[in-house]
Structure 1
Amino acid sequence: MNILVVDDESFVREALTETIREASSEYVIAGAARHGEEALEILQSHPVDLVITDVRMPRMDGLELCRRIYEYNPEISIVLLTGYADFSYARQAMKYQVSDYLLKPCDSAEIIQVIEKLAEAHRLQRFQKQVEQLRHSHVLEKHLNDLLYGIPIPYFNQSILPVYQCIYLLCIAPAEKVPHLIWNEQQALNAVKNIAEEWLEPQVRAVGILEEDHLVIYMFNEHVRTLPEMEALALELHSAIQSNLKLTVKLGLSQGAQHQSEVPRRYRQSCQAMQAALQEPSKHLCSYGNEDSEQELDEWVPDMSEKGKRRVVEHMLQVIDERYPDNLSLRLLADEVYMNPTYLGRIFKEDTGHSFNYYLNLVRVKQAKQLLEDFRIRVYEVCDQVGFKDPAYFSQTFKKYTGVTPQEYQNSRQADV
């Protein structure tokens, strides 16, 4: 934890810094300032997590410093040191989210107790941020993976996409068999993903998606870039991968997409370009630069289409498992993914052998059976918890799937105990 001490009295600054240093090696003194202006200079050049400041100081007092810190970075914690006479004055700083107050003179144990409490809060805050970043990254990658196969990003998650004017897709595959003594193919592709995302980040927003035998890099450009510019960038990335991993890879670059609806086609382009590069020993990169190559591109459509259908069905199954208590319908789900409900229902039945409604009720009845194992719960409560709004329809559907009514099922389970 980086701590900045601010007090106009030198002996107070020295005593505080010495106390903090002796308490734990985890606490780092980022600086010791004589007044608010000096503190702001340190804040601009050093990372600071906590500011411990006096109230009454020349040039810039503690309250003005609190206001400036709140505007500059409200995540920085502040502890105010104040004399008894200044306490009501110091309380004005509450609007700047001051974390704590210490009345002068304060002993070392009291100071360290406050710092320990704030250090723990910072640790928890950092952990929560990391969890949120991981969650955001996972959701983004899942939606971008679906988008490759024509599953649109639901309208309520559109804001998750990075800002872009155009998107290029880059497919990357090992040029030769990966030595299993070092790593397997997925580990190798994951290493390439990490390097690509980090190396490209200063120039484009890069997100890698792992497929079975290749890696797909989304390159979100805030400004429109030409294909030759992206080719030069891709070749530089190729050199970075080879020098860092000692792994030979082949790259396939798509044309640019101005809208996410173009992504499935651009993905097929980048796959085809990658295959062309794999067949050319002298080439590291191939680009899909000929818009008239319809026949060659169409050769990829059947395989990609089947993968796309599987992704759609996987998405539907996941939605049913997660949201079966909600008022789900095929039309609602179709609206969320911008697809025709009739087509959606057909591919679901082709894959699962059941209609959407039949499968949804199957999941609801399965969950109802588990809940009915608890003899204290009433049938009408189970009905509501698994997504049925009409108890009579729930009883009728339950009997259709199990051969008995919910009450009969619960009574039989109770008799078996």
Structure 2
Amino acid sequence: MYSILLVDDEQYIRQSIIELVQWEKKGFFILGEASNGEEALEIMSKNVPDILITDIRMPVMNGIELTKRIREKHPSVKIVFLSGHDDFDYAVSGIKLNIIEYLLKPISIKDLEKMLDQVREILIEEKREANDLKRIETNYLENFQGIKMSFLVSLITDNYKEVPEEEIQKLVETYRLNLTGNRNVLLNVNIDKSTLNKSQLENHNLEMMKFSLANVTRKISSKYLGGEVFNFTSNIVVMLSDTKENIDLYKDIIVREISETIKKLFHFSVGIGVSEEYNSLSDARLSFQSSISALNYGMLMKRNKEVYISDIETSGLEKMVFDESNETKLISLIKIASKEELLEFIDELFQGLEKDNETHLQIFLMELYVSVLKAYKSVIPIYDTTMLQRIQMISDIHYYQEIEEIRDWFKEFCLTVVDSIHLQRKKKTDSLAKKSYDYLVNNYNDPALSLKLVSKKMAISPSYFSSLFKKENGISFTNALIKIRMEKAKEHLLTTDCKIIEVALASGYTDQHYFSYCFKKYFGESPNKIRESFKEKELLV
């Protein structure tokens, strides 16, 4: 059974619709009824219907305004408009608000029931699609290769350092990947375009060749070791996964055979960058980067063949202390001013660090130091005097004798930056809160004024703006706007002879009835009553 909320300012129309339609037979029940948009919103604050049937022209809050408010909070609600022949302009607004049906007044019960059948089918189909496991499974299998490829690419491009190894292994099983070995190595195969002839350089031939190249490479590698082969950008990536003994035994054979076979079959050369060996698949990204470095070394040395990164650089996968994930975490902790977590993380970073290797220690400290400055600069573009002095004090690190002293110096430096960022952010939020409040004071008469519009003017997200506004101004955005409009409206009433509709328009309200409703709710008396009382007091003075 699907629920319906019926909104119309004419009670006899609501009553007729409720009594004449066989709701249960059609698969519906009436959740509630309301005479205007304001009442409807009150009902929806407790119970959200599947369908809203609403009149367009109503006092207090019309159907268009009601729909706008519902679309912001409950976009899944299906909305049907009841409208007269002269509501064309409103109907155009409805199209933009994704109204699913219009029913003209006077309403035909036959048309209403036909509409209910159509909407019920839409709701049933939505539910069926969401719960149709067979269809989901079919779609999954149809797209399996694409999903599998997406995961392989993410392994070499995304950071999996924070993902538990067992979670990665579950994904490997899900995608049926042949990456179950306890030792891995990555090969990056790149076509040497200087060895291609003119016909091979044509784009369509090149794409076909890369596909064929991947197949040949897959066939060679699978003869010796487990692994996966796939195209990524203009390269072929080979992820070999097996025992350490097998990797050591067959890795070089595979590299040579790929190089020689491609030259023999395709009549061009390839460069092959060979990464360091690694144990965990979470290191695949670093391994991929090292294979690219190996390819780059090959091009620089005019040796576009097989290049092993271990021949050029010392091993860094296992020894890397401060990688990109650590840098990201350090910067985040500084920017969100989480002092306790920050100090704990710094302790982790310094664990196992030795002062004996002076060069390694200096590089490590400089990396930490630069990361902190990045965090500072992202919030405060210009260094103040205190920070400039701190920057100059980096040389002081070398005077400390113990790792603990260096760690404590770095902690103090980080805390200074955290305090500076906090102070700057406080100044900025104070300024934003004041600017936004001033904007309301200067633009309260704009009927289109909304939290979303003002947050856009302030260049921050609506949710953050809403919490910031209330925190700094001590009142919510909505209540602040009502307060400003009501105070200004009262001022107009008591100091001018403007009609109520004119006061309403000058205060940002397009509907006189809705304005009077809001005014009485705020002051406890109607606009006319307050004006009369004020004039009576003036006569007595």
Shorter-normalised TM range: 0.3 to 0.5
Answer with 1 or 2: which has the greater Rg: 2
Higher helix fraction (1 or 2): 2
TM-score (structure 2 length as normaliser): 0.30
Q: Which has the higher contact order (CA 8 A, sep 6+)?
A: 1
* TM-score for the superposition, normalised by structure 1: 0.38
